[in-house]
Amino acid sequence: MTISSMKLYFRKHISEKEMVEGCQRGDSSCQSLLYHRTCNKMLGICLRYIKDKEKAEDVLQEGYLKLFKNISTYRQEGSLDGWASRVMVSACLEELRKSSLEPWKESIYENNIDYSENLIIEKISAQELLEIIHSLSDGYRAVFNLYAIEGFSHKEISEMLGITENTSKSQLSRARAMLRAKIEKQNFEILSYAN
């Protein structure tokens, strides 16, 4: 085993605490290790908010730049993945703000949706579900992801997006209804095709 491969082996097997401390010192091998340990999950987060894969990858890189710049604020009291996820969500929201002016403040009256509670998803793959989520407007998608996936409260969402709690609730309700209608339509098409 060469010296460089030994260093790589030991770097891969350091603890999370040691890795974070190395990142806080600016150790590039620890930064690389953190990136490789978390990049798939962080890209998944970016893809939930940003439709275009190339743009999502750009946001991922911007997110990591912010993460490494601010890693000194991580106190190792909570989960590193949770902290990194919040940094990525913040980077995604910044990109949405740049690309379209306050997409979460769109008209709440533009869709005539059936709000029935019947939701059938057993025949939809994760990729199809992601595509359906991507079909939502930026505003609905942002609120849906923040609430349903990231677990933020309406109060937190309202502070992050600069909207009222009622607007957050309204956007979530409409996003869910739109998703429900699209999933039901998709299931109907699958069932019709199968028969």
Quick: pLDDT tens for 74-131.
988 888 999 999 999 999 988 888 876 555 555 443 343 343 333 444 456 777 777 8
User: Above pLDDT 90, what percent of the chain?
Assistant: 40
Domain ranges of the chain: 12-99, 105-195
Contact 93, 139 (CB under 8 A): no
Q: Is the pLDDT of residue 65 over 70?
A: yes
Q: Encoding tokens for residue 141?
A: 């998608």
pLDDT of residue 114: 40
Residue 82's Cβ-count burial label (10 Å; 0-12, 13-18, 19+) is exposed
Specify the pTM: 0.67
Is the predicted pLDDT of residue 41 greater than 90, yes or no? yes
Fold of 105-195: Arc Repressor Mutant, subunit A (1.10.10)
Question: For residue 184, what are its two tokens?
Answer: 């039901």
**Domain 12-99 fold:** Rna Polymerase Sigma Factor; Chain: A (1.10.1740)
The answer to whether the CB of 177 falls within 8 A of the CB of 115 is: yes
The answer to whether 82 and 103 have CB atoms below 8 angstroms apart is no
d(C-alpha 89, C-alpha 133), whole Å: 16
